[in-house]
Structures are given as C-alpha cells and as structure tokens.
Chains A and B, each alone.
Chain A
Amino acid sequence: MLKFLAASWRFIDDRTGASEAIGPMMKHIVPRDARWWYVFGSAALCCFILQVITGIGLALSYVPSGGDAFQSLKYITDQAPLGSVLRGMHFFGASAMVLIAAMHMAQVYLHGAYKYPREMNWMSGVVLLLFTLAMGFTGQLLRWDANGVWSAVVGAEQAARVPVIGPFIAHAILAGDTIGGATLTRFFVLHVFIFPAFIFAGVAVHMWLILRHGISEMPKPGQPVVPSTYKRDYEARLQKSGVPFWPNAMWRDAVVSLIVVVGIIACAVIFGPPVLTTPPDPTALNVNPAPDWYFLFYFAILSMLPANLETWVILGGPLVVILVLLFLPLFFNKGERAPSRRPWALAIVLFVSTCIVILTIYGAKSPWSPDFGALPLAQEVPRVPKSHSFGAQVFYDKGCIYCHEVDGDGGHRGPELSSVGGRLTEDELTIRINNGGHNMPAFAGRISHDELAALVAFLSEQGKKAVPPPSQTQNIATASGVHQ
C-alpha cells in the first residue's frame, strides 16, 4: 500500500513537476540570523487563511439580505452547532490580523528592511494593510445590527465630503438614497469577493518579491545599504552563512502561527463573538453607534476636530497617511538600517503607537458623547439633600447630566460640576445656563423661572456642602475646590 502511494506520488510529481517548481522556493537561502523577529509576516498570512476558512463557513449560513441578515446571524450565534465559536474566530482572527500586520510593519520599519532593493515589498505591504482595514470596516458592517446600519451611513457621509464626486460615491456606498435592501448586498460583495481577490493578488506579489530580493539580514550598525554594491554583498554573505528557509527558518513561523491560532480560538471560546446589538431598524434611534476597536482611534480623532478643519482632515488625513506610507521607501532607500543609528525611526514608532493606544482608550470611553445612560440624581437619596431634590431633578430632566458629572454620575462632554459652587456665583451660573457657552446650548426659553432658580441653588451647593460627602476622596477634592 505504502509502495503504491509512493509510486503514485512519483508519477504525479514527475508529470506535474511539483517538487521542481516549489522545492527551490521553499529552500531558498535565508540569512542565518533571520530568527524570531521574522515571524510576523507569516503569522499575518496565517490569520488571513484562517479568515478565508472561517469566512467560507459563515457564508454557508449567512443571508446577505437587508431584511434577513440579522436573523441569520442570530441563528449562527444561538442555534448552529459551533456557530458562536466560528463567529468568534472570524472576529478575533480579524483583530489578530490587523494587530500582527501592524507589528510586522513596525518591525520592518525599525529594521530598515524596506530599503533598497525591497522598496516594493514595503509598498505592496502597505496596500495589503489598507485592504485589511477595508475588510475590517466592511466586516463590521456585515454584522448587520443597528451598529452595522449606522456604520454604512457614517461611511457614506464621510465619502460625501469628497469634492464634486462625493455625493456620487455616497450614493454608491448606500446603494441608493437611503439605507435599504441593496445596501448590505453591496458590502457583502466587497467583503467576500472584491477585497479578498485583491488580498490574494497582493499576497502573491508580496511573496514573489520576497523570493526575488531575499529576506533582509538583521541590521548591523555600521553596515549601511549602498545600492550600487548591496546585491553583490548580500549574495556573498548569503553564500557564506545562509541556511535554507525550509526547514531551518520555517519551523519558527509554524510555531508562532500555532500560538496565534490557539490564541484566536481561545478568545473565541472564552469571550465569544461580538454581541449583536438591536436589529437593523433605521427607525430605532436609541442607538450608540461606535466602530470596532481598530477604528476607535479614528473615531476619537473625528470627535476632536474643530468644525472648520473637519472636511480637510476627513479627506486629507487618510490620503496623506497613505501617501507617506506608500512612498516612504522611495525617499529613504539607502543608508543605515540599525535602529540604534536611526533614533528618529525609533521615536516615530514609539510616538505613533503611543498615540494610537491613547486614542483607542479615549475612543472606547468616548467622553465627548452625551451619556444617555445617566440616571437621575434625585434617586440617589443620601447625596442630594431634600431641599435640592427639585434642582437635581431639573439637572436630569434638562439633560445637563448627559454632559456634566456631579459626584461621580453623568457624562464627560462638559466640565465636571461637583465643585462648581466654589467656582461660580449664582449670578454667573444663571448667565451661563441662559446663554450657553463654548459647546453648551443656551437654555434661555427652554427652562422656567422656577426650574432655573432650583437648578442654580442645587449647583451652587455643589462643592460647599455642609453634610460631608460619603467618600473620603470626594471630601478632599471638594474641600480644596479641586475639579477636573
């Protein structure tokens, strides 16, 4: 039997030339020092393959129709055997792919591996990253709950800002004038056919370029890239000390990919897929649309822009970032590669990653949004003395609490008012409430005389309470008039 199988393989191999074609690619010589730093690319590819497989699985049950998609997702999540795990794997696989691709990019940048002759390796990688993010956005949208519906609207609104053709693009994104039956189908086609086709092609180009130029060596200080001699020197060093990719280097890729896949499955089992919020009903307006985590930093940036800059940043920001990333290697393709000789590279990576982490946390908290979940203060009996319960009720009814915090309750869009009594007099409070101010609506005409009086009395009591507040820290904060 074994003999028969071996003979069959020899026949197939001889007639197809499989070993002859693939063998040299697998055994191409790589630098001996290409060790654990070099595993990110293959781990990202492994994530992509996992996404294709789990995606095909999900597509067997997913119905890409505006009216039925939500029900089919409910079915996959709640009833289909292992459906919840499969959805979870697809979600955490996407997260891992974004994260690992970003790490891959940071590593290549830090090691100067994008320099001559590997400029196009980097450029094809940038294109792959963009398609990966596009897959993230469209994938989040295919989770066709209320969040998916509003993601489509927000995407179309941003595209509409493009000069001249903006409305046309927005119309194409929504597949019509409004959200409707055709909207979801459009995103399904992008996510399942068009973008993956570009990723497959991009991966092929990216890998062909690896074979063409070889894997870069670990950067050594004092060994700059000189385009006129680089290829000759690289070949010479490789001949002297290189090892075949298969199996001397590939085992590390396999081990790391295994760890990544185990991590993805563990997350899928432990945390489960992202919760489906409410059905995709465009008339249900009590929703809080927010992007998945990998776009939270951008969500945060959009909230901080002054109105007059907004259109320019929405349009120009991504364009500038893409152009800078894409053409970076054409302008800096020679010289030192070692991070120790390129302090600016190190500083840029640290700065950008710190910004993205901080903005992501900020985006997750979204303190700029009104906090519609805030409860009336009047219900919190001990903290509001009886005499001010009407003022506290007004503070809730008029929506003040959605944006202002008092004693640990309320939103963060406006200043905290826990100690406002120490800062502003009753007259100043009255003026501020009536006239509004920087980013605050004017309440004159929308609050009665009695309500205003009660509200001002309640607020001027904040920070100079006779009754000690419940917690020690608040006591200190209010006594010194400190506020955030």
Chain B
Amino acid sequence: MDIKSSSASNGSPADPEVSRRKFFVFVTAAAGSAIALLAGVPVIGFVLAPLVRRPTQNWRTVGSLDSFKIGETVKVNFTDPSPLPWSGITAQTAAWLRRTGDTEFVAFSMNCRHLGCPVRWVAGANLFMCPCHGGVYYEDGSVAAGPPPEPLARYAVRVKNGQVEIETSPIPLTTFKS
C-alpha cells in the first residue's frame, strides 16, 4: 500500500513520504558505516600495528675475541631482536664475520643483494657466491660478478669486554632507484 501511494506521489521534496524514505536511507547508511567503523578500528589496528612499531635492535654476542683468526671469514649465528615464543629455529639468523685486525671486524649480511638468497663463503677462492642466480662478491663484500646491484650489506660490530658483538638489523632490502 505504502509503495503504491509513494509511486503515485508527485516526488516533490515537500512530499512527506519522500522525505521519510530519505531519512530511512540515511539511518541505514549511518548505522552501517558506524558498524564498519566500530568493528574496523580494532581489526585494522591489530593487523597494522606490527608494521608501524619498529622493534629496538639489540647487540648480540657471537663469540670471544680470540676465537676469531685475523683474515678469516666465518659464519656466526645469533638471535633476532625480539623473537616470538613460538618462533623456534626461525628466531635465529646468521652473518659472515671477518676479522680484519686486532679489534677490527666486518660483519656481512648473508642476504644476496639481488633477491635475498643466502650467499655462501667459498674459502679457497675468497669469494661469496649466491646459489640462486650466480651473484659473486669479493671478501670485502663488493660485487665481483653476476646480477647483484649493490655490495653485501654490513652489520655493526663491536668488541666489548673481550667479546665480539653484532647489532641486529633488518634484512637488507634492495629498493627502487630510478
């Protein structure tokens, strides 16, 4: 009955039935938006919060000073800055550590700068080689061959109380350069 009467109405804004309907549309849209907003804030906040919050980096001890020989490059393992309780083995990470002097060290990220695959140290040749697309780096991390656009990234290293420490840092990302 209502529908009939409105389709017969003249449609002018003054028509009470038309303004009633406009009001209903407004109420429905407002209620729907409010529901989306109320539910969306906690959900989206929960999803996005970890992306915005940067974990503080830590210094990790990787061995005593005298356990590294000058001129040698060895793999050292250490734990991520803030591992989750269920991370298990995935909380670990590794770096290539080279002792260059009495208290001088260079720590290279193991991620190839091409696409992030793990480079391995070929001691006989003094080269880092990547198994994915054949990137090769010299012992100082500079590119020797293959597709990598940049030298291997480095971690901060320090010697403290006779212990060698590496500062954790994010996986190096090769970003856009026009």
Interface residues of A (CB under 8 A from B): 65-68, 149-150, 153-154, 156-158, 160-164, 166-168, 170-172, 174-184, 279-283, 285-290, 302-303, 305, 307, 310-311, 315, 368-370, 372, 396-400, 402-403, 413, 436, 439-443, 446
Contacts of A154 in B (CB 8 A): 115-117, 132
B51 touches A153 (CB 8 A): no
- Determine which residue in B55, B77, B134 has the highest number of CB atoms from chain A within 10 A of its CB, and name it: B134
- Whether B132 and A446, one on each chain, are in contact in the complex, defined by CB atoms closer than 8 angstroms, is no
A68 and B171 within 8 A (CB): no
Neighbouring B residues of A370 by C-beta, 8 Å: 129-131, 134, 136
- Please indicate the chain B residues that have their CB under 8 angstroms from the CB of A396 in the complex: 124
> Can you give 7 A-B contacts (C-beta < 8 A)?
A67-B88, A67-B90, A178-B171, A183-B90, A283-B77, A285-B110, A368-B134
Which of B77, B86, B134, B136 is the one whose CB lies under 8 Å from A68? Answer: B86
B82 CB to nearest chain A CB (Å) = 9
A280 CA to B88 CA, complexed, in Å:
10
User: B interface vs A, CB < 8 Å?
Assistant: 50-51, 54-55, 75, 77, 80-81, 83-94, 110-111, 114-120, 122, 124-127, 129-134, 136, 138-139, 144-149, 169-171, 173-178
Contacts of B173 in A (CB 8 A): 156-157, 160, 166-167, 170
Complex-state Cα separation, A256 to B161, whole angstroms:
72
Asked if B175 contacts A166 (CB within 8 A), the reply is: yes
Task: Say whether, besides A66-B90, A285-B120, A441-B144, A181 and B149 are in contact (CB < 8 Å).
Answer: no
State whether B87 touches A180 (Cβ < 8 A): yes
Q: Assuming A177-B55, A439-B134, what are 11 further A-B pairs, CB within 8 angstroms?
A: A161-B174, A162-B176, A177-B169, A180-B91, A303-B134, A310-B149, A311-B176, A370-B136, A399-B125, A413-B134, A446-B126
CB neighbours (8 Å) of A157 from chain B are: 111, 114-116, 173-174
Minimum CB–CB distance for B123 against chain A, Å: 9
**B90 near A181: Cβ-Cβ < 8 Å:** yes
Which of the residues A150, A164, A180, A182 comes within 8 Å of B118, measured between beta carbons?
Answer: A150
Are A182 and B84 closer than 8 Å at their CB atoms?
A: yes
A177 to B55, alpha carbons, bound, how many Å? 8
User: Which residue in chain B gives the minimum CB-CB distance to A67?
Assistant: B88
List of A residues within 8 angstroms of B133 by Cβ = 302-303, 368-369
- CB neighbours (8 Å) of B129 from chain A are 370, 372, 399, 402
Question: Which residue, B110, B114, B148, has most C-beta atoms of chain A within 10 A?
Answer: B114
Q: Which of B54, B115, B126, B144 contacts A302 (CB 8 A)?
A: B115
- Inter-subunit contact B50/A285 (CB<8 Å): no
CB–CB A66/B87 < 8 A: yes
Q: Does B147 lie within 8 Å of A181, measured CB to CB?
A: no
Judging by beta carbons under 8 Å apart, are B90 and A149 in contact? yes
Specify which chain A residues have a CB less than 8 angstroms from the CB of B87 in the assembled complex.
66-67, 180-181
Measured in the bound complex, the distance between the Cα atoms of B170 and A157 in whole Å is 12
B117 lies within 8 A of A175 (CB): no
From A65, A168, A283, A441, contact of B127 by CB (8 A): A441
Q: A162 CA to B175 CA in the complex, in Å?
A: 7
Point out the residues of chain A lying under 8 angstroms from B88, CB to CB: 65-68, 181
From A171, A283, A289, A398, contact of B92 by CB (8 A): A283
Point out the residues of chain B lying under 8 angstroms from A171, CB to CB.
51, 170
Q: If A176-B55, A436-B144 touch, does A153 touch B171 (CB 8 Å cutoff)?
A: yes
Given the interface contacts A67-B87, A280-B90, A303-B147, does A153 sit within 8 Å of B131 by beta carbon?
Answer: no
